[in-house]
Amino acid sequence: MTNSESSLAQDLCARLCHDLVGPLGTIGGAMSLLGEDPEAAGLAQDAVAEMRRRLSFWRAACGAGTGPLALSEIATLLDGMLAGGRARFDLGAMPRDRVLPAPVAQLLLVAAMLAGEAVSRGGVVHLGPGAAAEALVLRPEGRVVAWAPGVAAALGGDASAGPRGILATMLRVLAEGAGWRAALGAEGEAMVLRLDPRG
């Protein structure tokens, strides 16, 4: 394993731990109150459901053996995942039954998470078709839309900026593996994330 591969693996593990530690803390706290608080069991059940949802997402996004996914399945996996549940994923006019090959499905899952970070205070990540056949465009929309400063550089090949910047680096690696490109670009006054198959 090269230094860059090792760094990518470490940053991804740190990101996963960050995403999972919250529900685990809730479960632990609720379990300690089971005999005293009648609502504790409900809190624990909610946290377990949250943990299951997050693990299902990450297994599909970066696990081996992910199969082809329909856009409707991708939307289900993204439910509650964007911006910590403050943003939602919108398929718009895209055909819900369109099936993406596994590498492209994983690419879209990670791209949607990255676009969700641009609307950290809440909003919508819209999915639409790109200019080329099969291409996809993700457009975050919200009261405040702000892409992280290092996203464009990471998509262009710069090293990951640690766990907070891992999604952009992971997206670039997945895109290269799938034979696609991922890049930020202007669409009117908005900055969108474009996913294009390499011609």
> For 21-26, which contacts have Cβ atoms below 8 Å and span 24 or more sequence positions?
22/50, 23/47, 23/48, 23/50, 23/51, 23/54, 24/51, 26/50
Q: Which amino acid is at 59?
A: R
Q: Of 3.40.640.10, 3.30.565.10, 3.10.110.10, 3.40.50.150, which CATH number belongs to 3-197? A: 3.30.565.10
Give the start-end residues of each E strand in the chain: 69-70, 87-90, 99-100, 123-129, 136-142, 180-187, 190-197
- Give the model's pLDDT for residue 159: 73
In this prediction, residues 24-49 reach a mean pLDDT of 72
What pLDDT is attached to residue 58? Answer: 84
Please enumerate in sequence order all residues whose Cβ is within 8 A of that of 131, keeping only pairs 6 or more positions apart, or say none: none
Residues 37, 111: Cα–Cα separation, whole Å: 41
Mean pLDDT for 177-190 is 93
Query: pLDDT tens-digit profile of 60-116?
Result: 888 776 789 999 999 999 999 999 899 999 999 899 999 999 999 999 999 999 999
User: Using one digit for the tens of pLDDT, what is the confidence trace for 136-169?
Assistant: 999 999 999 999 888 999 999 887 667 778 899 8
pTM of the model: 0.84
The confidence score (pLDDT) of residue 1 equals 40
List the beta bridge partners of residue 126. 90, 139
pLDDT band at 33, cuts 50/70/90?
Answer: low
Give the per-residue pLDDT at 149: 87
| Residue 98, pLDDT score | 96
CB atoms near residue 88 (< 10 Å): 19
